[in-house]
Amino acid sequence: MNFDLELKKKKRQLEATKNGNPWIGKLLIGIAFVAVISYVSYRPPLKTIKDSNLKVGDIAVDDIVIRKDMTVEDREMTELNRQKARANLIPVYEFSEQKIASSQMLLNEWFEYFKEMRKQWTKGQLDLDEVRSDISSNFGIELTTKSIRDLLRANVFGKIDLHRLQEEIAQWEEKGILLSKIGIPKGPDDLITIYSEKRGTTQFKVTELYDSNEIREELNDFLKQYALSKNEHAVIIPILLEYISANVSFSKILTRQQEEKALSMVNPVFIQLKKNKIILRRGDEINKDHLKLVRLIRAEEITGSYRISGIFMIFMVFAILFYFFWRLHVLTKIGGINRSKLNFVSAMTFIACAVSYRLALFVYPLILNNIALSINIDNTDMVYGIPFAIGSLLIAFLFSLQSAVTFSIINAIISGIICDWNFKVMLFVLAGNLAVAFGIEFYQRLKRSSILKAGFFWLLPVNVLTTMMFALTQDDFSWRRVAFFVVMGILSALLSVFIANFLIPLWEVIFKVLTDLKLVEITNLNLPVFREMLEKAPGTYHHSQMVASLAESAAQELQLSPILLRAMALYHDIGKIDSPQFFTENASVYENPHGKLTPRESAKIIIAHISAGMEKAESLKLPRKVAQSIDQHHGTKLVKYFYEKAKESSSGQLDDFDENMFRYPGKKPQEIEQAIIMLADQVEAASKSLSSPNDQDIKNVIEQIISADIAENQFSECRGLTFQALNIIAGSFYNKLASIYHQRIAYPGFDFKKENVNDSNPT
């Protein structure tokens, strides 16, 4: 369905702008969060070199021991190798094939032009001043009138064999012409590299090419065969040189690329130092090699030794990552039904995870050192036992797969940084986090058992496989080491699952997060509130079921949460339970009481079901999103029936007539889900007024209701509602109602319009 409608601009201003710029507050919160996570993630490095004033001949006061495995670069040797690579670099020149074709074409044009001018000159029909101006503008050659007259009189260009001249020039240009050979960049043995699109890359000596002076000499030798006069020769040489251009030119870009390629082939000279290696013992005399090694180690440690600079680097990395993390959430609107809380909950989860990782790094070595087992395992290998998947399990269960994937990537980076920039840990965490994210999606979020299943059947195998591969590729491979790695991976998976299973209900309470599991619980039709509705207000109960069916259909089309829309629809009219007799859907059970009331009193009772519903929502502790459907499903619309009735009874005396008494006080729909409930509520009620509706009747009902709501500006504050969304909602409503009201074939063997002969004597 198409609606030729135009939504008005949103009128409501953000409340935060009344009290200042909301972006300042968000920025400050973001900076504070990044600062906290950076501080927790930062790990000050241990210093190997404490005395920076050592000299050759000094005596070492203490042992100098390597505090951690490190690889230091011998920058002097590396730079020496790079300089050798630069010295052997052969510069790259570009060869232009286009200039060859261009010079041939322009030379041919010049000869044709001169031949035509010669014909006109012999007839006496040529103005030499015009010819001089024409040559200057068309060919860019400046000649005097006398030179033109001499060339025409002697028919110089008529004497020269154009074909042979073009062949000679083509040979020179094919070989390559430099502007000059003096002072140009050259490689060893005067070699240069020439790049051509057709011929590729070839090396030449500079002496094998022409330059402009040599081309002039070649041209002189070529013209000697035509017995030209000295003056003619002096004039024609500059003209022909205009059509012979240098087609080999130095390329800074290609040379730089060649240089970068050559430098990239130069491997840095590294010195590998193992943890606990003693490079100088107390009392040893420091020699030149010792001092060089000490300086290299100190230079390596200085790069990350300053606390402020280290934190600043981590802060900048996290600031960039979290900015794009936030932008991704804004642009893609991922996060499911809790997307408005995704950023804050993710931030708190990141901090909680980082603190737990840091705590584990402190506690695990203490435990390992006190275990009475003879296992020769480095404490650093225990990092694979840290429960890295807790956060990903929380985010995947509370939000969506997409948000869990983005969380997993950043969580892996945080974990790698905390574990001393360990790339293997980063891969281990990323693989495990992605496994549980997809595991939760596979098992869905309708039961807490999905957490256990994702942990045991997805995370556990991935952890075992990853740790096993890491252990098998270690230099000091042993089966004991493999077993220890695998045990750590299993421990990480088990701890992640059990801790996450404990934290998820806590996160729901602390951050008031709405889960699919919670929605399943509150939409159970055996709950007392629905039993009470069925007993007291059966029409409202059936109406809510129908609205839920329409809303779920629209949610599926718009890729929203059907279970959330179902919950909102089931609860939107719970305010009618205590006064069901005042609502038409329950007319088959109760007598109409409105005949004894004034229109104003009737409208007041009808409107009161909103406030009554909000009170019930509070007593039932309904989630905020579900409760909002009660408050917003009528927006600020008029109770039209009693409004029109009141206008009729006022007999034209409208001075004291206030239409606000007949208007719902609730907010207009703020989100697309609330708009769907508003439309589904009206469409379902209106469709009941149709007797044997056909397809066009259903379409008319839907279109008129949507048009009326837009005309009343009910969607001016609704985020995410577009023309496309309205068309999809309308289409889903139509399909659902058409399937409900479709015509059936006559039931064979019965005529229900005939009077039953037994009706007069029922039994």
Quote the pLDDT of residue 654: 52
Domains along the chain with CATH numbers = 33-39+309-513 (1.10.1760), 92-259 (no CATH), 518-577+602-642+662-740 (1.10.3210.10)
pLDDT higher than threshold 70 for residue 522: yes
Which is more confident, 307 or 388?
388
Of the candidates 112, 225, 103, the one whose C-alpha atom is nearest the C-alpha of residue 174 is 103
Lowest mean pLDDT among 50-54, 441-445, 462-466: 50-54
In angstroms, the CA 126 to CA 136 distance is 16
Quote the pLDDT of residue 438: 93
Which is more confident, 541 or 20?
541
Which is more confident, 302 or 120?
120
Residue 432 burial (CB < 10 Å; 0-12/13-18/19+)? buried
Residue with tokens 């590294």: 270
Strand partners, 272: 71
Quote the pLDDT of residue 750: 45
User: CB–CB of 674/627 below 8 Å?
Assistant: no
In angstroms, the CA 677 to CA 634 distance is 9
Contacts 24+ apart (CB under 8 A), 480-487: 480/375, 480/376, 480/377, 481/377, 481/381, 484/375, 484/377, 484/381, 485/381, 485/384, 487/385
pLDDT in tens, 174-209: 888 888 888 888 888 888 888 888 888 888 888 888
In angstroms, the CA 163 to CA 111 distance is 11
Quote the pLDDT of residue 19: 44
User: CB–CB of 586/757 below 8 Å?
Assistant: no
In angstroms, the CA 622 to CA 461 distance is 39
In angstroms, the CA 598 to CA 603 distance is 9
Mean pLDDT of 622-635: 90
Q: How far is CA 318 from CA 189, 341, 347, in A?
A: 52, 20, 12
Which is more confident, 446 or 632?
632
pLDDT band at 276 (very low <50, low <70, confident <90, very high): low
pLDDT higher than threshold 50 for residue 395: yes
Cα-trace Rg, the chain: 43
Find the distance separating the first CA and the last CA of the chain, reported in whole Å: 52
Quote the pLDDT of residue 435: 94
Share of the chain above pLDDT 90, in %: 20
Quote the pLDDT of residue 10: 38
Quote the pLDDT of residue 375: 52
User: CB–CB of 417/41 below 8 Å?
Assistant: yes
pLDDT in tens, 123-132: 777 788 888 8
pLDDT higher than threshold 70 for residue 425: yes
Let me know the angle formed at the C-alpha of 25 by 20 and 26, rounded to the nearest 5 degrees: 130
In angstroms, the CA 43 to CA 40 distance is 8
